Copies of this chain bind each other. A is one copy, B any other.
Amino acid sequence: MAPKVTPLSGFPELLPAGRLLEQHMLDVIRRTFELHGFAPVETRAVEPVERLLGKGGDADKEIYAVSRLAGDPVGAAAGEAALGLHFDLTVPFARYVLEHAGKLTFPFRRYQIQKVWRGERPQEGRYREFTQADIDVVDVGDLAPHFEAEMPLVLAEAFSQLPIGPFTVRCNNRKIPEGFYLGIGLTDVAATLRIVDKLDKIGPQAVTDLLLAGGATALQARQCLALAEISSADLSFVDAVTGLGVEHPTLTEGLNALSAVIETGMAQAPGILVADLRIARGLDYYTGTVYETLIVGNEEWGSVGGGGRYDSLASDGKTTYPGVGISIGVTRLVHLLVGKRGLSADRSTPSAVLVAVTDEAHRAASTLVATALRRRGIPCEVAPRADRFGKQIRYADRRGIPYVWFPGAADGGGDQVKDIRSGAQLDADPATWECPPADLHPGIIIP
């Protein structure tokens, strides 16, 4: 008796037309990354649990452990480490850099598009398995600040080619709240940051209550909120912060660094990079600039492109490799487009042509036509059965295949191709027929 087939909550799957849309998006993202000279890297899906722990803030409890079903945990017998599935691509990349440092040239630019897993409670826009598309630059000892402006601009170049409409990349620098909190006398920076990070979820009153409960004065709490409310698509955020009257060298450092990022953004992609001083990012390893990307009109869907600078994630004790990167939440983006906005590919197969089969004895003739079309880059398939032509046309129509090809009769009648949308049917030769470029590959339907 076969086990019941049921979806698993948090492990989304797409039908072919949705997957074709996702692949188009992945192709655009990958092409953009490659145009910017990021080298492809793929890391194993598992890391020693020891390496995953303590890197992901609240993520520890979300790690999936992996073990041999029959028998001991993998390798335990051989004294190997317990393994877990990676929850992001940054932690494994940092390990990859340490492991292969002798064979890489720095600064090292890499992109990585893979699945990650988090055992968190599934909800709209949150998954237990999802695809991320990351770029990072790491260097040895010191990392030039211009890379901190480059990361969100590469993301913006990819996003501008995707069917998602307007978006903004919200930027902050962790040194700004850090220096600010120290400047007003709040010394537990991490705890304060964690509370203020909840602002969007729980609102200003609840944040104030938490800050007060944590020992802040009413004035300190008001100042924390005032800082978090500051946002600008130009450099005016600096004056707004200065207006709060707090001074600290770390704050100044953070304001200068964020100004450089926003200034480059204003020159290269006006309106895209926005200084937003409430952005904190959950993961513990960020030390400088941080990013979150919001889709205009679907801000509630959450960030679809986050990242930042990390100065000490990759270190072997002697050498440190500081890095900066940004990660596109491909699955969240795709399910926004497919599930919420109703986008889809306009057919459920790559085939542009269905080659009809006159009768099973002449299947080889249809295969020859298909071979000739493929040789010229035209995706096609041969009809599965020599049904009457009306049925073969319906087979194409159900999949959204635009053309049906009728091989010529053995007695000399020539080949013909029919556009099943218009009904137009013309003589054609598989060695020369031009498939209209718009029909060659699936298009996207935007409702």
Contacts and interface: CB of A to CB of B under 8 A. Distances in A.
A380 B8 contact: no
A351 B8 contact: no
Contact of A64 (B14, B20, B74): B74
A301 interface: no
Contacts of A363: 146
A403 to B, nearest CB: 12
A115 B45 contact: yes
A144 B384 contact: yes
Interface stretch (A105-113, A201-209, A302-310): A105-113
A379 B115 contact: no
A7 interface: yes
Given A3-B51, A41-B19, A65 B64 contact: no
Interface string A98-131: 1110011101011000010101000000001100
Interface in A353-381: 363-364, 367, 371, 374, 377-381
Contacts of A398: 105
Contacts of A267: 364
B2 A317 contact: yes
Given A99-B5, A350-B38, A110 B16 contact: yes
Nearest to A394: B105
A64 B67 contact: yes
Given A74-B119, A83-B8, A40 B20 contact: yes
B40 A23 contact: yes
A224 B107 CA distance: 61
B110 A350 contact: no
Nearest to A317: B2
Interface stretch (A29-37, A271-279, A280-288): A29-37
A424 interface: no
A61 B71 contact: yes
Contact of A84 (B69, B98, B378): B69
Contact of A66 (B64, B70, B146): B64
Contacts of A35: 350, 374, 377-380
Interface residues of A, number: 98
A5 B98 contact: yes
A170 B40 CA distance: 34
A48 interface: yes
Interface in A84-104: 84-85, 95-96, 98-100, 103-104
A381 B349 contact: no
Nearest to A378: B35
A19 B110 CA distance: 11
Residue among A13, A37, A40, A115 facing the most chain B CB atoms (10 A cut-off): A37
A39 B64 contact: no
Contact of A8 (B23, B46, B316, B399): B46
Given A44-B129, A119-B74, A144 B37 contact: no
A433 interface: no
A355 to B, nearest CB: 10
A68 interface: yes
A247 interface: no
Given A66-B85, A379-B34, A16 B44 contact: no
A176 to B, nearest CB: 24
A299 interface: no
A11 B43 CA distance: 9
Interface of A: 1-3, 5-9, 11-16, 19-20, 22-23, 34-46, 48-51, 60-71, 74-75, 80-81, 83-85, 95-96, 98-100, 103-105, 107, 109-110, 115, 117, 119, 128-129, 139, 144, 146-147, 267-268, 315-317, 348-351, 363-364, 367, 371, 374, 377-381, 384-385, 395, 398-399
20 contacts: A1-B317, A3-B81, A5-B99, A8-B80, A12-B44, A13-B44, A16-B40, A19-B41, A19-B42, A22-B42, A35-B380, A39-B348, A45-B115, A45-B117, A45-B129, A63-B69, A63-B70, A64-B67, A69-B84, A144-B385
